[in-house]
Amino acid sequence: MKVVGIDLAGKPENDTGFCVFITPDKNNPLGKCETKLLKSDMEILKEVENEKPDCIAIDGPFWMPKGSHFRRSEELLSKRGFRPVPLSLPTMRMLVMRAGHLVKVLRERKYRVIEVFTQASEKILRLSKEPRKNKDEYDSLLCALTAKSYLEGKYEDLDGIILPKE
């Protein structure tokens, strides 16, 4: 199984974390986990095309709610003690626009794409970032691990946001 995790930045000039995670199998007994930083949508799309993953998990809202700061999925996250950022903030609007565009292109190319929330994934998976690791790369790993859980059927769907199950 091969998954990609993307910790998407709102602006293309900022770092986007990108992780490729391949589970071990008879052809690749060690598996693979590689992270890197990308910038532009073209770089992201090129890397996805190079990897041809079974699933892509993106930490970034795919769409904007009408007349509200939060979608139902963020409200469900809040009830569990997480703090999603209001989507009405200008920086979040940029992220929604960018994520929405990438998701549209990836789905047109027949990729399975899911939305994730890394803060929740980290807590559920009982992980924590090492001080020397880059936050964007670490969050992209959390995205990839959530995609792996999704493909294994070990997930929960919070009205569009996928969380791994313990």
Dihedral of CA 111/141/1/41: which sign?
Answer: positive
Q: Residue type at 154?
A: K
Report the CATH number that the domain containing residue 63 is assigned in CATH.
3.30.420
Q: What is the DSSP letter of 77?
A: H
Give me the number of domains the chain comprises: 1
> What confidence score (pLDDT) does residue 40 get?
97
Distances (CA, A) of 138 to 23, 33, 62, 99, 107: 18, 11, 21, 19, 25
pLDDT, one tens digit per residue, over 46-95 is 999 999 999 999 999 999 888 788 889 999 999 999 998 888 888 889 99
Parent domain of 8? 2-164
Q: How far, in Å, CA of 8 to CA of 102, rounded?
A: 10
Could you tell me the pTM of the whole model? 0.93
| Percent of residues, the chain, with pLDDT higher than 70 | 99
